[in-house]
Structure 1
Amino acid sequence: MTETASTITAGQGVGESARRPDAVLKVTGEFAYASDLWLDGMVWGVTLRSPHPSAWIRSIDVGPALKIDGVLTVLTHEDVPGVKFFGLDRRDQPVLAIDQVRYQGEPVALVAADHPETARRAAAAIVVDYEVREAVTDPREARDVVRHQPVRRGETFEAEVVVTGEYEVGMQDQAFLGPESGLAVPTEDGGVDLYIATQWLHVDRDQLAPCLGLPHDKVRLTLSGVGGAFGAREDLSMQVHACMLALRLNRPVKIVYGREESFFGHVHRHPALMRYEHGATRDGRLVYVKADILLDGGAYCSSSPAVVGNAASLGVGPYEVPNVRVDATGVYTNNPPCGAMRGFGAVQACYAYESQMDRLAEACGLSPVEIRVRNAVAQGSRLITGQLIDAPAPLAGMLRDLESMPLPEGPPATDLRALPGGVSQTTHSEAVRRGVGYGVGIKNICFSEGFDDYSTARVRAELVGGEPHVTVHTAAAEVGQGLVTLQAQIARTELGVADVTVATADTAVGSAGSSSASRQSYVTGGAVRAACQAVRERFEGLPAREALERSGPIEETREYRHRPTYPMDPVTGQGDSHTQLALCVHRAVVDVDVELGLVKVVELAAVQDVGRVLNPQALEGQIHGGSAQGLGLALMEEIQVRDGLVLNPSFTDYLIPTILDMPPMQTKILENPDPAAPYGLRGAGEPPTLSSTPAIAAAVRAATGLRLTRVPIRPEDIALFTNGEVSDDKRT
């Protein structure tokens, strides 16, 4: 029913490109994802969702559905056995809509049937009487605030050079390939076993148990194969619905979303409206920054408070700024709920402050690199929150390294594959112009603002067939990032044993927190290392085989916590809110057909400081993957929402980069160890997503001469030339 434990025998440790145990299975299509789960006697669950973004529910008639052959049960909010609300930060989201719906796609009723098509027909037969009401869809008109976080520093807000700008970031989807899915199995003790694709087993359980009216020990979760996550699996989707149906029927129930339902079944990246003002001396030294950042959280809270905190604390980027006035605000609307997505909060702000740095460079007569070098933070600098950067932060050198990388050759004249539009032959290079742009990003690693962030690992060493064998057991979710591989590498390194099994993650061991915030290598890696060291101490200096022959199996469990963090002051925004900070810088080269508005990213180059490389190949994949998601946000990815309605819930209309869109990459990896982190590592998965978007946008601006203050940049934003002229209101 679930992914088998992963046994690795390659003998490769920390610092090597150890082979992923799931690699061959995924390439050949044999890997078992959660959507492949199967159990004899199981039935299928389907969710009925609201077609309206805002409405009162006057009545629900389930009778027509129950009359369909093969339908076993239909549930509404009246059938929730326990607490009727759940949520990551606030318990504000109903298990099933009670008296109203607040967004298109909100779950209203559940159906279980002996076939998925029967269940879908039955769901469509349910009659819901809605009284539609006006939806609040413009965040500027919203009255309900999730969180407002100011940051105040200094008192000087006048300067010789001042640039202002208003910027917008659209709603991006995580667009993972494996849709939400899972299998709930009722147990003899009255509880339920849930096999699920998730990012956070224990917090799923902690939300599920009260809703099901069960004690925590009767709700057991096991991780199934996860087809990508990027933040969208932090929140509950079908978990509680499958469990409710299974407990009602006393039969296994499987729920698998289709692609369209997946767009409605998970949170998205917060769209943002931002206004910035930068003041500097004539030689480009920052004097002050003012910023207003408005984030649309949609219908429910999810992780919006943390997103607002990140946007506020990192809202001016990795630059020395003595005077700051930042206001970050998240609001409720009747748009789809928004929550975690790779780099959350920091991504939106990064696009705006980097666009501003380019405008400031132009106003001061400096290059994009020089303006950033002159204001770059370093070890010993302070964030705008007052937090000391006490680990290496060689930003100026990273920018110089990036600038020195060779540029690709000029625009090709004949190869259609390398031109905007590709082999569709829409472009023949007559109106193609090249642009180069730079972007810098700073991202917090691990959870922030006083969250009790830790992980637990259990390590067992024993003789199997006369040879030492180690089993590592954590609840850390492998979501494609290579965590299973890394846990085995750490065990081999610490114990000197080649044969390591990483057990399937479940709630039978202590929490490992979420696979998000680029934190698992740090905290779960730290926990596995600590447990292995405890086992090694019991070897008493003997080789593993000899020690285990004497003592028999040795098992140790350890928790690992990083140094404490603290909430930001609600008035001034000051405080040591972050555990660790990571930097990445990008250069983008693009070719743009300025008549048709088509863009081809010719090359991306990146320099990133990772503290210590634990797995070179996996690290390279993280940088490429994060850069690809940044490219998507820059040029193509946006959930189109009009009056609260999603217009493009499919991969036909929601465009994501393919291998043909992703250019070759030059990368330079720096290793400046963080003395506070295990192995000196620095979380690496999210920073490339930040800096790639503004770098690409800057390159398009350089090619077109247009301001382009919104991402994603659409063809119609570019194709505004008339006889070679640019309208004045669009000129840079």
Structure 2
Amino acid sequence: MTETASTILSGVGESARRPDAALKVTGEFAYSSDLWLDGMVWGVTLRSPHPSAWLRSIDVGPALAIPGVLAVLTHEDVPGRKFYGVEHKDQPVLAIDQVRYQGEPVALVAADHPETARRAAAAIVVAYEPRAAVTDPRESREVIRHQPVRVGDTFEAEVVVTGEYEVGMQDQAFLGPESGLAVPAEDGGVDLYIATQWLHVDRDQLAPCLGLPAGKVRLTLSGVGGAFGGREDLSMHVHACMLALRLNRPVKIVYGREESFFGHVHRHPALMRYEHGATRDGRLVYVKADIVLDGGAYCSTSPAVVANAASLGAGPYEVPNVRVDATGVYTNNPPCGAMRGFGAVQACYAYESQMDRLAEACGLSPVEIRVRNAVSQGSRLITGQLIDSPAPLAGMLRELEAMPLPPARETDLRSLPGGVSQTTHGESVRRGVGYGVGLKNICFSEGFDDFSTARVRAELVAGEPHVTVHTAAAEVGQGLVTVQAQIARTELGIADVTVATADTSVGSAGSSSASRQSYVTGGAVRAACEAVRERFNGLPAREALEKLGPVEETREYRHRPTYPLDPHTGQGDSHTQLALCVHRAVVDVDVELGLAKVVELAAVQDVGRVLNPLALEGQIHGGSAQGLGLALMEEIRIRDGRLLNASFTDYLIPTILDMPPMQMKILENPDPAAPYGLRGAGEPPTLSSTPAIAAAVRAATGLRLTRVPIRPEDIALSDKGPDSGSDRRSGNGEESDGERARSGGD
């Protein structure tokens, strides 16, 4: 992908045009699923139908007998290490003696046509011995990580509220399913063209499984149709390369939508019990939390997700006494790992629900209770970490509260819950308003060597100065290519900039996740540009390049160090940067039909420094949309370890008809430790939008609603009165009993 003067004429702080915008809108953009090479064949994966079973035998003969089938591989054909994983190498390339989740890869087929490959995969005879599956995380005895946080010793208060909360399994639901093309090389290695988030870590997992040195495994980023964490783990990478090396022919694998649901990790479902104690005037005294995260069959990034849930488990509030326990466990459910918000989303829904309950118990407004306990610069997180950059949460809440509310409900049927289906004429529709606050760490944490590398080359092309920026940072739709070019133009004053395709021929840029790329890769590009500019020795670019010839510099950028959390107390400076977003949601609810329509979202977010205003607004809109999805519709349904809704017909995501108008106020309070003072912005809106919407639905219905997504059957009042039912608000102005969240089963 290239960025040139014809597609970008702006520097840092301006709404530079995306170079891929027109191609994506017109359908001409080349995604990885569009890859094609003469002589290529097609790969298909056979997957387990059982969530837990012994694997007794595999007969590949019937598949090999089908004309057009070129190879059938099992675990015995893995040329190198048989296991891989992002943090722990616990996931088999192909199942060896057992399967641990429905959809686990068992065998591979290559054929001259994709349909032939699919028929051959179905012809493989596998003898399974099913066994009891562990699907309830509370029953698991296999702990991935337990992280406590302990502060203070006072756990009594005048006002106490407790609640049990549940977050369902959310899918990243990206546009482009997993796909890639593996091409055998003359040196005995392989070139993989792949849609991913993390080129170098992919390579470092892939090479040992292929029995090859890292230098013989080369990855090039292909067009990525969204990611949101779902491409941090390997999917078909090893499989395509194994087949290509076996056949000495290019092999392409493209998952269909159903297989994609089995082929990547999802957001961790969570079961959480919280207890908040406060003074009568609403000042927090203590927070207790027990957070259980279902990691599924394999580890993936669960340890880091647990750490985030623990360290951010009380939210952006000052609280002197804390007892938090966050635990990730193995089950026979689908593997879970990175998704936008990364552990902080689940905790945020629970602690924000608690703050609303506390406000009710203390007779305060939802905004006031938050303002009275808000962190600010100089506060400390529950881990003891000092907030040493601007954190104007109280002011953000006041600005959000002051934003005008939308007008009273309209009579236009299209604006009502149910829309043009005309399920209601508004007679049973009630409106609610809710607030949510999110605190998210930016960049990798707990001592991870978080850095990025950039190579910048300036030269004369047709007599004019030209800059090429080369990094391994994955453009996954977030606009990173645009930002890299903006930085180069700003630092070098040269309009003509090309951003080279990301690949492993340049040093690592880390993952396009954790809202980190503008920070870390932006910092690397800036540093490399500064080094090039120093070589100019004060001369104008054209004059310097006429004198020096091409000038090229490579630089790494690392953020300030972080440290692991203490395994017993949870104390430590584990994060490099924190970001805040606050949301207000206005929701109309048809209490008879159980339908909800988000009328408006308003958001205030501090981004430190705006690099690209239009792209930033898109990030806030996108994060808010995923938060809306989690609040009202998005959930992978699992029964006895089996996935029930592996399609976009049954797994619902917000459409343009579901997204409301948004008011936004973007603040710029620079972080002195960050390049340009910027603050990662992509994830925080996902945190705060979900609890804000849930709170608005509670306000409209009078129901406790301790689980997201909220289903129609959760909120339909039918012929009951507004205060009937065991799940209605208690009305106790001082203390509320604990509640048990509804089961997630069907």
* Aligned-partner Cα distance in 1 for 2:320–2:5: 52
1:619 to partner: Cα distance: 0.1
1:427 to partner: Cα distance: 1.3
- Give deviations 1:101-146, integer Å, cap 9, x for gaps: 0000000000000000000000000000000000000000000000
Aligned twin of 1:633: 630
* Aligned-partner Cα distance in 2 for 1:545–1:3: 20
- Give deviations 1:55-105, integer Å, cap 9, x for gaps: 000000000000000000000000000000000000000000000000000
1:727 to partner: Cα distance: 16
**Structure 1 moving runs of 4+ over 3 Å:** 1-8, 723-728
CA contact (8 A) 2:489 2:495 kept: yes
Aligned twin of 2:533: 536
* Aligned-partner Cα distance in 1 for 2:178–2:186: 27
* Aligned-partner Cα distance in 2 for 1:423–1:179: 31
CA contact (8 A) 1:535 1:556 kept: yes
1:5 to partner: Cα distance: 13
CA contact (8 A) 2:161 2:735 kept: no
CA contact (8 A) 1:6 1:503 kept: no
Residue 7 of structure 2: SS of its match in structure 1?
strand
CA contact (8 A) 1:7 1:499 kept: no
CA contact (8 A) 1:448 1:566 kept: yes
CA contact (8 A) 1:147 1:308 kept: yes
* Aligned-partner Cα distance in 1 for 2:656–2:562: 40
- Give deviations 1:615-639, integer Å, cap 9, x for gaps: 0000000000000000000000000
CA contact (8 A) 2:3 2:498 kept: no
CA contact (8 A) 1:136 1:142 kept: yes
CA contact (8 A) 1:3 1:224 kept: no
Residue 137 of structure 1: SS of its match in structure 2?
coil
CA gap 1:727/1:570 in 2 versus in 1, 3 angstroms: closer
Aligned twin of 1:347: 345
- Give deviations 1:624-666, integer Å, cap 9, x for gaps: 0000000000000000000000000000000000000000000
Residue 450 of structure 1: SS of its match in structure 2?
coil
CA contact (8 A) 1:90 1:301 kept: yes
CA gap 1:724/1:553 in 2 versus in 1, 3 angstroms: closer
- Give deviations 1:345-380, integer Å, cap 9, x for gaps: 000000000000000000000000000000000000
1:6 to partner: Cα distance: 10
- Give deviations 1:518-552, integer Å, cap 9, x for gaps: 00000000000000000000000011000000000
* Aligned-partner Cα distance in 1 for 2:352–2:250: 51
Aligned twin of 1:284: 282
- Give deviations 1:328-356, integer Å, cap 9, x for gaps: 00000000000000001000000000000
Between the aligned residues of both structures, percent identity stands at 91
* Aligned-partner Cα distance in 1 for 2:244–2:410: 62
* Aligned-partner Cα distance in 2 for 1:666–1:516: 26
CA gap 1:346/1:726 in 2 versus in 1, 3 angstroms: closer
- Give deviations 1:382-416, integer Å, cap 9, x for gaps: 000000000000000000000000000xx435201
CA contact (8 A) 2:2 2:498 kept: no
CA contact (8 A) 2:454 2:507 kept: yes
1:29 to partner: Cα distance: 0.4
* Aligned-partner Cα distance in 1 for 2:192–2:379: 47
* Aligned-partner Cα distance in 2 for 1:600–1:427: 12
Residue 289 of structure 2: SS of its match in structure 1?
strand
Equivalent in 469, 493, 503 of residue 496 of structure 1: 493
- Give deviations 1:406-438, integer Å, cap 9, x for gaps: 000xx4352011000000000110000000000
CA gap 1:725/1:328 in 2 versus in 1, 3 angstroms: closer
* Aligned-partner Cα distance in 1 for 2:667–2:479: 20
CA contact (8 A) 2:7 2:18 kept: no
CA contact (8 A) 1:135 1:644 kept: yes
Residue 150 of structure 2: SS of its match in structure 1?
strand
Aligned twin of 2:461: 464
* Aligned-partner Cα distance in 1 for 2:735–2:574: 45
CA gap 1:136/1:452 in 2 versus in 1, 3 angstroms: same
Residue 629 of structure 1: SS of its match in structure 2?
helix
CA contact (8 A) 2:159 2:734 kept: no
* Aligned-partner Cα distance in 2 for 1:172–1:53: 19
CA gap 1:724/1:161 in 2 versus in 1, 3 angstroms: closer
1:725 to partner: Cα distance: 23
CA contact (8 A) 1:54 1:100 kept: yes
Residue 153 of structure 2: SS of its match in structure 1?
coil
1:197 to partner: Cα distance: 0.1
1:724 to partner: Cα distance: 23
1:726 to partner: Cα distance: 20
* Aligned-partner Cα distance in 1 for 2:97–2:4: 43
CA contact (8 A) 1:7 1:502 kept: no
* Aligned-partner Cα distance in 1 for 2:675–2:5: 25
* Aligned-partner Cα distance in 1 for 2:572–2:733: 51
Residue 141 of structure 2: SS of its match in structure 1?
coil
CA contact (8 A) 2:562 2:574 kept: yes
Aligned twin of 2:121: 123
- Give deviations 1:554-607, integer Å, cap 9, x for gaps: 000000000000000000000000000000000000000001000000000000
CA contact (8 A) 1:194 1:221 kept: yes
* Aligned-partner Cα distance in 2 for 1:654–1:457: 39
CA contact (8 A) 2:51 2:99 kept: yes
* Aligned-partner Cα distance in 2 for 1:24–1:103: 41
CA contact (8 A) 2:160 2:736 kept: no
1:7 to partner: Cα distance: 6.8
* Aligned-partner Cα distance in 2 for 1:429–1:216: 63
Residue 32 of structure 1: SS of its match in structure 2?
coil
Aligned twin of 1:300: 298
* Aligned-partner Cα distance in 2 for 1:681–1:217: 35
- Give deviations 1:123-170, integer Å, cap 9, x for gaps: 000000000000000000000000000000000000000000000000
CA contact (8 A) 1:7 1:501 kept: no
* Aligned-partner Cα distance in 2 for 1:39–1:188: 16
CA gap 1:540/1:82 in 2 versus in 1, 3 angstroms: same
Equivalent in 730, 734, 738 of residue 725 of structure 1: 734
* Aligned-partner Cα distance in 1 for 2:549–2:607: 39
* Aligned-partner Cα distance in 1 for 2:736–2:455: 64
How many residue pairs align between the two structures?
A: 721
Q: Which structure 2 residues correspond to residues 613-624 of structure 1 after superposition, within 5 A?
A: 613-624=610-621
CA gap 1:356/1:589 in 2 versus in 1, 3 angstroms: same
CA contact (8 A) 1:5 1:502 kept: no
CA contact (8 A) 1:320 1:381 kept: yes
CA gap 1:726/1:381 in 2 versus in 1, 3 angstroms: closer
Superposition TM-score, scaled by structure 2 size: 0.95
What is the root-mean-square deviation of aligned Cα atoms in Å?
2.1
CA contact (8 A) 1:279 1:287 kept: yes
CA contact (8 A) 1:212 1:244 kept: yes
CA gap 1:725/1:69 in 2 versus in 1, 3 angstroms: farther
* Aligned-partner Cα distance in 2 for 1:399–1:227: 35
CA contact (8 A) 2:57 2:127 kept: yes
Equivalent in 656, 661, 674 of residue 659 of structure 1: 656
* Aligned-partner Cα distance in 1 for 2:198–2:734: 53
CA contact (8 A) 2:46 2:122 kept: yes
Q: Which structure 2 residues correspond to residues 639-718 of structure 1 after superposition, within 5 A?
A: 639-718=636-715
Aligned twin of 1:267: 265
1:2 to partner: Cα distance: 12
* Aligned-partner Cα distance in 1 for 2:38–2:2: 14
Residue 291 of structure 2: SS of its match in structure 1?
strand
CA contact (8 A) 1:172 1:270 kept: yes
* Aligned-partner Cα distance in 2 for 1:356–1:701: 13
* Aligned-partner Cα distance in 1 for 2:381–2:69: 58
Structure 2 residue runs without a partner (length 5+): 718-731, 738-746
* Aligned-partner Cα distance in 1 for 2:696–2:436: 10
CA contact (8 A) 2:288 2:324 kept: yes
CA contact (8 A) 2:78 2:210 kept: yes
* Aligned-partner Cα distance in 2 for 1:726–1:106: 47
Aligned twin of 1:486: 483
CA contact (8 A) 2:5 2:497 kept: no
CA contact (8 A) 1:5 1:503 kept: no
CA contact (8 A) 2:69 2:112 kept: yes
CA contact (8 A) 2:443 2:514 kept: yes
Residue 247 of structure 1: SS of its match in structure 2?
helix
